[in-house]
Amino acid sequence: MKMKNIVLGVTGSIAAYKAADLANRLTKEGHTVNVVMTKNAREFVAPLTFSTLTKRPVYTDSFADTPDYDVEHIGLAKGADIVVVAPATANVIGKIAGGIADDLLTTVTMAAAGYGKPLLICPAMNTAMYENPIVKKNIEKLAALGYGFAEPRESVLACGDLGKGALADTDDIIKAIEAKLT
């Protein structure tokens, strides 16, 4: 895959630490990775981790001061070859499916979809949440609109439950990115 500009959205899941590996791998492959973190994601992993791995600023706030005037969510969306949300919580999937854009990540995804940019969502949550009919309907709705998904895998989850809900492996996410871009 030739070098791409990838927006990586990171949400508040224990799997956020795995997003650091994804950002690192994509950067080492020569891609530009712009990380957008939700407030809850920052409870699990510090922005410094991502900025160190990507050699780029990390975007965390819709209203942050910027050195040059830029409408960040629009600039990030326009410049992206793809937007990847990994991990994607039930909350952010529901917001995107419902058209709610109340933080930097959801405004970027909303704008990117409007510009016709490919989007890949990588769910990660407890099995009971993943299997919830509301979450399933939200995923079906987004898939019907052309959003791609990297299916979660079955594993022993952070809470100790065994089931489907663990973030897809990094290799599988990278393959899904490549497939979505071709």
> Which residues does the annotation mark as catalytic?
159
Whether a cis peptide bond, with omega within 30° of 0, leads into 133 is no
Tell me if 123 sits within 8 A of 88, measured CB to CB. yes
Six token digits for residue 6: 């990838």
Give me the phi and psi of 5, to 5 degrees please.
-100, 110
